Amino acid sequence: SHHFFQGQGQGSSSPSSTMSVGKVSVYTKSADAEEPRDRARLLAGAEDALFSAPSNEVRTDQDSLNEGEETSENWDGNDYLEEEHAEEDPEDDEAVYLSEAYRDWEKHYLRRLAMRIHRLLTAELDRSEEALFAIFVQYDANLDGRVRGDEAKQLLKAIEDVAPGSLAENSPMRKDGNISLVSLLRWYNKHTHQSSYTFGATTLLTGVLGSGMVGCDARLQGLDYLSLRKNVMGYRRIYSQLRELKEERLLSVVQDKESQNGLLETMPEYYRLLAAEFQGDMELLFELFCEVDESNNLLLEEREVEIMLRLMDTAATPEDLRRYIAEINLADGPLSFASLIDWWDQARTVPNSLVSEKGATLVASIKGRSYAATVAGMFGDTAVQKRWDQADAAGTLQALRQAYCRTLREVREYKAERDLRR
């Protein structure tokens, strides 16, 4: 994982998930700005009181109280005999001084997050897949993102009752006895393309669930705190697995074209896959990124980053460049394209970033440069296209193709993480 803002006007990311790309970074506010009251801050005072060593003043007071007293029954020579204390439940709010109101707020937050994950997940599905997802959710009795044990057996029985013989050739059940959403989608996809036995997912949905389907949002309302946490983690995992499945399908189509037409002729298809994910300023940033990527691996070393920054901000002073580099943070290694758009998206919206301070003039200058490059591309190759020819001549075109596939995954991961945090 990569790039978090450092130096002036920067912060750190949230805990990592299964994603490999750097998490959405957050600049810190100015010193006089009001800080959010998060859980760690609420507990900070209690932690200091519980775990800090007693001061000399406290020790002196304790010593004076103990003067002239006989040896306590807890002392045996120089050894102190510890009293046995009952093991505390880490989920007990009182053990860590959290109020019931705070726990209720957390449940409200987790419920909203669970609903957001559900909607992002369904946005990745077509109509048939959405019907299969509804079946999966209905048989996920505790909504932890796993259909297993009796849940899996009941789902298989329901499918067999509605579509007899549909499980004869293959089954959505995995070797571990569980049924995942991805295994259910793969199983259905085989039936629609390879099996002699076909049926519609919406027909299956109607037959399996009938009119007794209970909405996922309504069921979330009845979950307790721990069940909500399990739901968020389980369905976030499903969301990640589903994105990987979609990427695999998208790339397989382009790879088939590559086997027929050759890699150089197919590079525009790989670019189109990536460009389909672009939003906002991503297209113009990618053109600029490729222009300075002398190593042609879609990773920028510090020298290449400095060249890019000078092209972005032609009026940048040496101090400006140092501040840009500090905000981007290259301590973890070369700059990926996903990390660049992470920095750019936040730098435009956070008041104490240098990009935000320079304002619309800087953004307009970059867009004007991009427009000029686009016009030039009408009469010749763009920076992106030139890199394909250079890689082909250097014998590194396959490595560049792999870099495009990696960047596609990283950009999709970045967008998913960003949307979850909104």
Dist. CA 193–CA 190, nearest whole Å? 5
Q: How many helices (H) and strands (E) does the chain have?
A: 18, 4
Over the stretch 365-410, which tens digit does the pLDDT of each residue have?
777 665 655 555 544 578 899 999 999 999 999 999 999 999 999 9
Dist. CA 52–CA 46, nearest whole Å? 10
Over the stretch 165-217, which tens digit does the pLDDT of each residue have?
888 888 999 999 999 999 999 988 887 765 544 556 666 665 555 544 456 78
> With 80 as the cut, is the pLDDT of residue 17 above it?
no
Higher local confidence (pLDDT), 357 or 5 = 357
Question: Which residues sit opposite 300 in a β-bridge?
Answer: 335
Using DSSP, state whether 25 is helix, strand or coil. coil
Residue 162 binned pLDDT confidence (cut-offs 50, 70, 90): confident
Using DSSP, state whether 147 is helix, strand or coil. strand
Dist. CA 334–CA 340, nearest whole Å? 11
What pLDDT, on a 0 to 100 scale, did the predictor assign at position 156? 92
Q: Are 131 and 205 contacting, i.e. CB atoms less than 8 angstroms apart? A: yes
Dist. CA 237–CA 18, nearest whole Å? 8
> CA gyration radius for the chain?
28
Tokens found for residue 149? 């044990």
Residue 234 binned pLDDT confidence (cut-offs 50, 70, 90): very high
Mean pLDDT of 127-140: 89
> With 70 as the cut, is the pLDDT of residue 52 above it?
no
